[in-house]
Amino acid sequence: TWTTEAFVEEAIREVRAKVGNKRVLLALSGGVDSSTLAFLLHKAIGDNLTCMFIDQGFMRKLEPERLIKLFRDQFHIPVEYVMARDRFLERLNGITDPEEKRKRIGHEFIQVFEEESRRLGPFDYLAQGTLYPDVIESADTNVDPATGERVAVKIKSHHNVGGLPKDLRFKLVEPLRKLFKDEVRKVGRSLGLPEEIVNRHPFPGPGLAIRIIGEVTAERLNILRDADLIVRQEVNRSGNYSEFWQAFAVLLPVRSVGVMGDQRTYAYPVVLRFVSSEDGMTADWSRAPYELLETISNRIVNEVKGVNRVAYDITSKPPGTIEWE
Ligand code: XMP
């Protein structure tokens, strides 16, 4: 029978046998897969693991800071923090097309990853949080066409864009490759990962950049970060967090008229997107409690400057997607 203890023991043995005392690079995203992977590898090879966190500037408010603090101070796993916010924003300057946004973010990510892995390297291995469904889905995505060997041709978090240059095609370490998501959660929990990471809602690689419809600007990012934080706080407080597959805010690039005190306002609307789902492939819009929606709406309009209206998305998937871009 499968137990987390047996899995962890076996995985550690395998990793040690495979990488010996060579160096391994891991791109930490803050999600449960890469976090569990980091814990496991740190247990297995200690300082020969380098965790790199690239801050694109599209994460939720306070999350990069919390992640780094958690890893460094609480778990004593060192993290190379790469501040790249300006570069990503620059790349998105004037861009409104969703596909183009994703493409640019993906390319920039690869570029930063390349530069930083050269600076911190050399590394022999790249650790990837590949899960069983990923292995099935992209059977040959990470196979070197020249040798047939499983190497890092593409990076998981942005596997739809670009490839890595030949000299950065590290060999792969993928100790989670036989696991399903719920098993990763169990393993993460057994290694001591906090619930806030183990149970975290899915969050897209391009992050808030695809939840700001149209052009991404520093001002809009600030507005959405603040609105999104309120959503998270209130969903947590309501005790309903686990009822939702995802619960987040989207910022629209139009403005509408409102009134505040005796002042007319002309500001952005925020859309709340709450869904239930089994796997993200299909989803139903959530019948969230009115009290929760009311609190969120009041707080956002009162506390977030630049927003004067809150709407609720009542579209299921299909025909809607979960994200708006
Ligand atoms: P959609 O919007 O296609 O989303 O219904 C389905 C699920 O996938 C997530 N998602 C992403 N995850 N990178 C990711 O890692 C992405 O580019 C991306 N786009 C969407 C989305 O949050 C939902 O859970």
Ligand 1 centre distance from Cα of residue 222 (Å): 22
Point out the ligand 1 atom lying closest to the alpha carbon of residue 283.
5
Residues 25, 165 share a domain: yes
98 Cβ closer than 6 Å to some ligand 1 atom: no
| Ranges of the chain whose pLDDT falls below 70 | 138-141, 154-163
Confidence (pLDDT) at 134: 81
Residues 170, 21 share a domain: yes
Confidence (pLDDT) at 149: 74
Residues 95, 61 share a domain: yes
- Which of 197, 222, 242 is the C-terminal boundary of a domain? 197
Confidence (pLDDT) at 169: 80
To the nearest 10°, the Cα dihedral for 240, 245, 249, 254? Answer: -140
Residues 184, 223 share a domain: no
Confidence (pLDDT) at 136: 78
ipTM: 0.98
253 Cβ closer than 6 Å to some ligand 1 atom: no
The string over 16-33, giving b where at least 16 C-beta atoms fall within 10 Å of a residue's C-beta and e elsewhere, is eebbeeebbbbbbbbbbb
**Model confidence, pTM:** 0.91
Q: Please list, in sequence order, all residues whose beta carbon lies within 8 angstroms of the beta carbon of residue 6, skipping any fewer than 6 positions away.
A: none
Distances 142 to 30, 37, 154, 260, 287 between C-alpha atoms, Å: 22, 18, 6, 55, 41
- Which of 197, 232, 257 is the C-terminal boundary of a domain? 197
Give me the CATH number covering residue 72: 3.40.50.620
Helices in the chain by DSSP H: which ranges?
4-19, 32-45, 63-69, 85-91, 98-120, 132-137, 181-191, 195-198, 218-238, 290-303
Residues 24, 173 share a domain: yes
Residues 92, 152 share a domain: yes
Residues 192, 231 share a domain: no
321 Cβ closer than 6 Å to some ligand 1 atom: yes
| Span 47-104, pLDDT tens digits | 999 999 999 999 999 999 999 999 999 999 999 999 999 999 999 999 999 999 999 9
129 Cβ closer than 6 Å to some ligand 1 atom: no
206 Cβ closer than 6 Å to some ligand 1 atom: yes
320 Cβ closer than 6 Å to some ligand 1 atom: no
Residues 38, 128 share a domain: yes
Give the DSSP H/E element, type plus range, for residue 129: none
Confidence (pLDDT) at 206: 95
Residues 225, 140 share a domain: no
Q: Please list, in sequence order, all residues whose beta carbon lies within 8 angstroms of the beta carbon of residue 273, skipping any fewer than 6 positions away.
A: 246, 247, 248, 249, 250, 313, 322, 323, 324
CA-proximal residue: ligand 1, atom 11 (nearest): 204
Point out the ligand 1 atom lying closest to the alpha carbon of residue 246.
24
Torsions phi, psi for 256 (to 5 deg): -135, 165
Ligand 1 centre distance from Cα of residue 102 (Å): 11
Structure token digits, residue 282: 């299909």
- Which of 166, 197, 228 is the C-terminal boundary of a domain? 197
Q: Is residue 120 one of the residues assigned to a domain?
A: yes
Residues 149, 46 share a domain: yes
Q: Considering only CA atoms, which of 220, 205, 221, 217 is closest in space to residue 105?
A: 205
Q: Is residue 34 one of the residues assigned to a domain?
A: yes
Residues 217, 183 share a domain: no
Residues 235, 102 share a domain: no
| Span 100-140, pLDDT tens digits | 999 999 999 999 999 999 999 999 999 999 998 887 776 55
Confidence (pLDDT) at 141: 67
CA-proximal residue: ligand 1, atom 12 (nearest): 204
Q: Is residue 319 one of the residues assigned to a domain?
A: no
317 Cβ closer than 6 Å to some ligand 1 atom: yes
Note whether 111 and 165 are within 8 A (CB): no
Confidence (pLDDT) at 152: 76
Pocket test for ligand 1, best of 248, 316, 323 (most atoms within 8 A of CB): 323
Q: Which residues are annotated as a binding site for ATP?
A: 29-35
Give me the CATH number covering residue 224: 3.30.300.10
Note whether 43 and 190 are within 8 A (CB): no
Range of the domain at 226: 211-312
Point out the ligand 1 atom lying closest to the alpha carbon of residue 321.
5
The number of domains in the chain is 2
